[in-house]
Amino acid sequence: MLSKISKKTIWIVFISLLIITVSGDFFIHRHSNFTIDGYFGFPALFGFLCCVFLIIFSKIIGLFLKRPDNYYDE
Amino acid sequence: MMNNMIMHPGILLILCGVIIPLLGDNLKKFITFIVPAICFIIILQLPHGMHLNYEYMSYNLIFLRVDELSKIFALVFIIMIIFSSIFSLNQKNKIEISTAFIYGGSAISAVLSGDFISLFIFWEIMAISSTLIIWMGSKNAYKSGLRYLTVHLFGGVILLIGIIGYMSLKESADFTLIDKTNIYAYFILIGVLINAGAPPFSGWISDSYPSASWSGTVFLSAFTTKTAVYFLIRGYPGTELLIYIGIFMIFYGIVYAILENDMRRILSYSIINQVGFMITGIGIGTEIALNGAASHAFAHIIYKALLLMSAGSVFYITGKTKCTDLGGLYKTMPITMVCGIIGALSISAFPFTSGFITKSMISQSAVYENYTIIWFLLLAASAGVFLHAGIKFPWFVFFQKDAKLKAKDPPKNMQFAMISLSIICILIGIFPNVLYQMLPYDVNYIPYTFDHVFFQLQLLLFSGLAFFLMLKYLKRTLTLTLEFDWFWRKFSKILIKDFDIHAEKTATNVINKYIKIFDKAIKTLYKHHGPSGILGRTWPTGNMAFWTTVILASYLIIYLL
């Protein structure tokens, strides 16, 4: 298990990375293909929401289709 | 014209595979090193054009059709064989490497074939040799290998129907762009899609590949699906149907990988997902899309082999494959962890890795062709890939809880193979032109612009954030997830069982009925011919004398009349 302190540092580094990449949008004019994808922070929000949706969607599929490990064994 | 002096690299590899089991240990190791290297050089120097042509029953067989497309696939196949052979040197099963050579050799031969007949022959050798590799795996391997073989033989038959029909229609065996105005073209398409792992036949990948040995899975990951991708690039570019099949495969792979517990099955699902990207590109069908599909296949073979080597090393050392049993290996297997992470970053298309410069070409082609929804779906899928393969695999295997497994990094040769492939992934990412030069069409695409790099980083890092925030929903459980193969693994069994019960009843009724008739017949016979029956009795001699007299008398009367 990662120790508590190193876990905290990793989160701090990770969150600062997130902030840096989003604040990049202030300095770089991202060229857009379909208008909406040029908006400030679009990829960040889109990526985040897609993943949340995919996890929830998978969970729902899993409710119906998950079986114990030895389902196929006789 | 004919030039029979050229050595065929695929057939050379197949022949080597056949003789390897007859050789002593040292000679075998030497050949395992040297022959793939020789084949690599042969492929690099193959001159463009048609070679090794033979006339067969009025059809022209072309064993070597060398152009950019066939060359790039042959090249990545041989690179894959070189490093996987080095990786698998510690494999105790001595036959595996020999079947792997036959398998890889026939895949190379298949992509180099210029006609349907020779392509089909190598296609079927691939099916058989890959089944043998699966059978050399775990205890459950026999059954899943049998299922794998059944699916592939079925696909092979459909392909053969298509090929025969198509050849008789066109009166030629040449394999070029396929004319889709006849039904046979669709038979061929279905046969090839079965090999690509398209629904409803996607189950075979995640069912069979993880049953193979720790080294066998690495060999299996590369050839079958990518030969199908090659076939589609050459035969079916721009078939719109493929876009939707591809998108379905992409999300199917992501959802199932998110639910999966076994690390090698997670990676198998991500094969379906990645092949989905390629098939979408083929469906879009423009030059940049096909370049994207071909280069993505190239990059994918290498990083997928790397990922499976990393998973294979963990399996080799710890004997475990389930995420619920693994964790905390970053301390004991640091090199395996670093290589696994490089593979995971490449598959997620992180900037400066191979996936970044190839997958983005497919997305860009969707922009050019105004496939707006497809572009957004591909973007969502890129986030999803990072989720299911990019973070999930390394996190659950090397981090999460400490499973307190005794482990160390694998032997030097396995480390060498992993490190080499990691370097290739990064080099391709940093110097995209090396790969772009080999592509079938000229590339006017620049992957590294500030806005593209920042876009991708935002997308991926925030996907990562979603992963860690929702970690408790991703907790691994000892489960599997049903998929299409349920129909033939379980439903057919229930059906047969039910059929059995009814059939038994009906059969008993019918048999009983006939037994009754038979009984009756026997009884009647017995009645007349039995000891007391009228025809079975012993009659007195006087009786006989009487009847003889009657007959003679009647004869006399008739005569006199």
Give the start-to-end residue ranges of the domains of chain B: 237-475, 490-560
B454 vs A24, A61, A65: nearest CB: A24
Q: What is the mean pLDDT of residues B197-202?
A: 88
Q: What is the C-alpha end-to-end distance of chain A, expressed in Å?
A: 37
Mutate to test the interface with A, among B324, B453, B456, B461 (most CBs of A within 10 A): B461
H or E element that contains B63: strand B59-66
Q: Say how far apart CA A46 and CA A40 lie, in whole Å.
A: 11
pLDDT digits (tens, 9 = 90+) for B218-243: 999 999 999 999 999 999 999 999 99
Select from B261, B367, B387 the Cβ nearest to the Cβ of A51: B387
Residues B250 and B380: beta-carbon distance below 8 Å: no
Tell me which H or E stretch contains B59.
Answer: strand B59-66
Q: Which of residues 36-75 of B touch A (CB under 8 A)?
A: none
Contact B515, B508 (CB under 8 A): no
Q: Are B83 and B420 in contact (CB under 8 A)?
A: yes
Does the beta-carbon distance from A66 to B399 stay under 8 Å?
A: no
- Distance of CA B290 to CAs B213, B236, B492, Å? 34, 11, 39
Please name the residue of chain B whose CA is at the shortest distance from the CA of residue A74. Answer: B490
CB B298 within 8 Å of CB B72: yes
DSSP state of A66: E
Give B65's contacts (C-beta < 8 A, 6+ positions apart).
B50, B51, B112, B113, B114
CB burial readout B267-303, b (16+ within 10 A) else e: bbbbbbbbbbbbbbbbbbbbbbbbbbbbbbbbbbbbb
For residue B504 the two structure tokens come to 């038994």
CB atoms within 10 A of CB B479: 16
Mutation test of the interface with chain B: which of A17, A26, A50, choosing the one with the most B Cβ atoms within 10 A?
A50
What is the identity of the amino acid at B84?
Answer: S
Residue from A13, A19, A51 whose CB has the most chain B CBs within 10 Å, to mutate: A51
Model pLDDT, residue B152: 94
Percent of chain A residues past pLDDT 90, beyond the cut: 26
Q: Quick one: pLDDT at residue A3?
A: 59
DSSP state letters, B189-242: HHHHHHHHT-TTS-HHHHHHGGGS-TTHHHHHHHHHHHHHHHHHHHH-TT-HHH
Contact B481 A45 (CB under 8 A): no
How far is it, in rounded angstroms, from Cα A13 to Cα A33?
A: 31
Q: What is the mean pLDDT of chain B?
A: 91
Burial B401-418 (b: 16+ CB within 10 A, else e): eebebebebbeeebbebb
Distance separating alpha carbons of residues B249 and B269, to the nearest angstrom: 9
Least confident of B130-134, B329-333, B427-431: B329-333
3-state percent helix, strand, coil for chain B, nearest multiple of 5: 75, 5, 25
Confirm if B124 and B210 have CB atoms less than 8 A apart.
no
Of B167, B43, B158, which is closest to residue B107 (Cα–Cα)? B43
Residues of chain A positioned with their CB less than 8 A from the CB of B376 = 34
Within 447-506 of B, beta carbons closer than 8 Å to A belong to 450-451, 454-468, 470, 473-474, 477-483, 489-490
Task: Evaluate if residue B119 carries a pLDDT over 60.
Answer: yes
Amino acid identity for residue B533 in this structure: G
Q: What per-residue confidence (pLDDT) applies to B271?
A: 95
Condensed to tens digits (0 to 9), the pLDDT of residues B420-453 reads 999 999 999 999 999 999 999 988 888 888 888 9
Q: What is the mean pLDDT of residues B248-252?
A: 95
Q: What is the pLDDT of residues B28-83, one digit of tens each?
A: 888 888 999 999 999 999 999 888 888 888 889 999 999 999 999 999 999 999 99
Q: Is the pLDDT of residue B341 over 70?
A: yes
Give 3-state DSSP helix, strand, coil % of chain A, rounded to 5.
70, 5, 25
Q: What pLDDT was estimated at residue A74?
A: 59
| Number of other CB atoms surrounding residue A14 within 10 Å | 14
Residue in A closest to B460 by C-alpha: A47
pLDDT digits (tens, 9 = 90+) for B352-372: 999 999 999 999 999 999 999
Q: Check residue B390 and report its DSSP letter.
A: I
Lowest mean pLDDT among B149-163, B168-182, B246-260, B400-414: B400-414
* Tokens at A26, concatenated: 């202030």
For B457, the token pair is: 């980083």
Q: How far apart are CA B557 and CA B561, in angstroms?
A: 6
Q: Which residue of B has its CA nearest to A36?
A: B376
For B400, other C-beta atoms within 10 Å of its C-beta total 20
Running DSSP on this structure, what letter comes out for residue B94? Answer: S
* CA–CA gap between residue A62 and residue B288 (Å, rounded): 37
Q: Which two tokens stand for residue B396?
A: 């659950």
Instruction: Specify the range with the lowest mean pLDDT, choosing from B2-11, B331-340, B357-366, B526-535.
Output: B2-11
Is the model's pLDDT at A69 over the cut of 50? yes
Kind and range of the H or E run holding B70: helix B68-87
B425 CB neighbour count, 10 Å cutoff:
24
Q: Please indicate whether, in this complex, the C-beta atoms of A18 and B462 are within 8 angstroms of each other.
A: yes
Task: Determine whether B515 is exposed, middle or buried from the number of CB atoms within 10 Å of its CB (0-12, 13-18, 19+).
Answer: exposed
Take residue B380 and report the two structure tokens written for it. 């969502």
B201: its two tokens: 């036949």
A67 closest CB neighbour out of B254, B401, B482: B482
